[in-house]
Structure 1
Amino acid sequence: MDTMMNFLLLLSGLHLLLAPASAQEVQPCETPLLMSGGFSVMLATGQMTSSGKISYDAPGQKVRFRAYGFNSDMTVNSTVDQLMLFSEKVYYEIDWSRFSCKKKALETSYVPMQLPKESQLFGKVYMGSSSSWGMGLLVNNWYGELPNNGLYNAVFTEYGCIPLTFSGYTPATGWTMVSTFNWVLGNVDPMDYVPPFFCANAALEKSAPVSMFEALQSLAAKQHRSLGAGTALDPISRVRCLSAATRCHCDQ
């Protein structure tokens, strides 16, 4: 009788301990403070139009996107950049082939690699399989609203809070999807977050602030124009060249 009573008391105690934990909602995670990796951008048409390297500084609220254009011989023939300074609500559009720079207003309600506190959890899923160790990756799928009737969706790993994909939609621009990969913790060059010298005299353009997704659409279009129809690689070759960085070199 005493044994049964002790067992019931133990179950009651466990229930009281587990009930608050199970009632807690999953909160948006926080990414590592400094990261570097690769990215690709795909527009609503389904055509991959931009790919390159990305650097992220969480404390400074800064992101650098470097897009590369490749020739058929795997050499880089153009480099266009965007340096986004979310704390200052501006971004620089940089064209190294022309040494030109534009300074534009940035809408900062959505910061990449950083989930807004009001983000809602759509669900948890395994990318791959959960049947055995190493066969799958547990991720969290988040969503929320952007200004001007927009929406966003973001996928982060459950462990480590590493960003995988970002999708943004506005009625004016449609869908833009950003995929990231090959993340490493830390940054190699602190100058990634400093505008180049020829941006010193760039005046802020008088235009409405744009979101990160709209800015990346502009980056993709700028890269496409700089390449020209005859020199661009097909999407698969672009990814292969970006992944095999040791095979790529600048011919500027």
Structure 2
Amino acid sequence: MKILAVFACVLAGCLAQKPHPCSSPPFLTGALTVSTQNEKLWTYIRYEYDAMGQRIRLMELGNYENKSFTYDALLLFREAVMYEINHKNHTCKKRPLKTDFQPIGIPKTAALLGQAVVGSSSGPGQGLLVNTWMGDLPDKQGKYLSTVTEFGCIPVNLSYQTADYGWVVLSYFNNVIGLADPGQLNPPDFCPDAEMEDGAEEPVDFVSLFL
């Protein structure tokens, strides 16, 4: 019996693996909130995410500098185009995207900060095992912290530094694997004929949509 007990302990140690960088599911639907350290921005966002087709839909309701706003954007990274959609007026603005598609997940360059249980570890189903990682933003313009679930690599929280707003915090919830409405990732019927606006603002990237 002692030999079996020792063998079981050794086996358990062998099976226990250190967390590794991971990729999130290619199709996700859910919601998130975005807030800034200087308290200028708070927004609630429903999203649909398609890593295979490199498409993201963001439907926002928020407050910026004490003014409420709504915003609906479809990002098509393969076409390097973003549509700003106004369903009320059935109009679209077409703008360029300057950034490459970045899939949700943990890049290989990230460093593990630690593993924790969100909720309680006292009983089955009372907590969620998550891993928190740290890394450098592109061009080393600051740091980011990213928390994902140990099983499934589902996003939980992302924080990153900005010069103008301090820390920006994205908190994910109600994540579902799959696309609730794949049609949301195609431009509405009144959008495809929209032309790139003359004198359009500087090309946007994904992060700038929240700031």
TM-score, normalization by structure 2: 0.75
Distance 1:118 1:128, change over 3 A: same
Q: 1:80 to 1:186 in 2, by over 3 A?
A: same
Deviation at 1:141, TM superposition (A): 0.7
Q: 2-side partners of 1:161 and 1:215: how far apart? A: 24
Q: Does 1:84 align with 2:79?
A: no
Aligned match of 1:65: 58
| Partner of residue 209, structure 2 | 215
Partner of 2:183, secondary structure, is: helix
Query: Given that residues 61 and 87 in structure 1 are in contact (C-alpha distance below 8 angstroms), is that contact kept between their aligned partners in structure 2?
Result: yes
Instruction: Find the partner of 1:190 among 143, 167, 182.
Output: 182
Question: Which whole-Å CA distance do the structure 2 matches of 1:172 and 1:104 have between them?
Answer: 23
Contact 1:83 1:91 in 2 (8 A): yes
Among 142, 153, 162, the residue aligned to 1:161: 153
SS at match of 1:197: coil
Q: Following TM superposition, by how much is the alpha carbon of 1:25 offset from its aligned partner in structure 2, in angstroms?
A: 5.6
Distance in 1 (alpha carbons) for counterparts of 2:73 and 2:160: 18
Displaced runs of 4+ in structure 1, greater than 4 A?
none
Instruction: Identify the match of residue 123 of structure 1 among 105, 110, 114.
Output: 114
Q: State how far apart, in whole Å, the 1-side matches of 2:127 and 2:109 are.
A: 28
Do 1:62 and 1:193's aligned partners in 2 also have CA atoms closer than 8 Å? yes
- Which AA in structure 2 matches 1:86? F
The structure that is helix-richer by fraction is: 1
Matches within 5 A, 1:82-161: 82-98=73-89, 99-108=91-100, 110-111=102-103, 113-148=104-139, 149-161=141-153
Partners of 1:25 and 1:135 in 2: CA distance: 22
Gaps of 5+ in 2: none
Q: Take 1:89 and 1:143, find their aligned partners in 2: how far apart are those partners? A: 28
Conserved in 1, the CA contact under 8 Å of 2:34 and 2:44? Answer: yes
Which AA in structure 2 matches 1:178? L
Distance across 1 between alignment mates of 2:208 and 2:57: 15
Q: Following TM superposition, by how much is the alpha carbon of 1:108 offset from its aligned partner in structure 2, in angstroms? A: 3.0
> 2:134 and 2:78 mapped to 1: Cα distance?
23
Cα displacement (A) at 1:110 = 4.0
Letter matched to residue 213 of structure 1: V
> Larger Cα Rg: Structure 1 or Structure 2?
1
- CA distances 1:185-228 after superposition (whole Å, capped 9, x unpaired): 22132221112234332317462553x222122xxxxxxxxxxx
Between the aligned partners of 2:108 and 2:54, the Cα distance in structure 1 is: 16
**Residue correspondence of structure 1 range 47-66 to structure 2 within 5 A:** 49-66=42-59
- Aligned residue type for 2:178: G
**Identity level (%):** 33
Aligned-pair Cα RMSD in Å: 3.1
Equivalent position SS for 1:199: coil
**Structure 1 residue 52, shift from structure 2 partner:** 3.0
- In structure 1, what is the Cα distance between the partners aligned to 2:54 and 2:111? 22
3-state SS of paired residue (2:195): coil
Structure 2 vs 1, CA of residues 208 and 68 (structure 1 numbering), >3 Å: closer, same or farther? closer
Q: Which amino acid aligns with 1:153?
A: L
From the superposition, tell whether residues 147 and 109 of structure 1 become closer, same or farther in structure 2 (CA, over 3 Å).
farther
Letter in structure 2 aligned against 1:207: E
Residues 169, 214 of structure 1: CA spacing in aligned structure 2 closer, same or farther, 3 A cutoff? farther
Q: CA deviation at 1:154?
A: 1.4
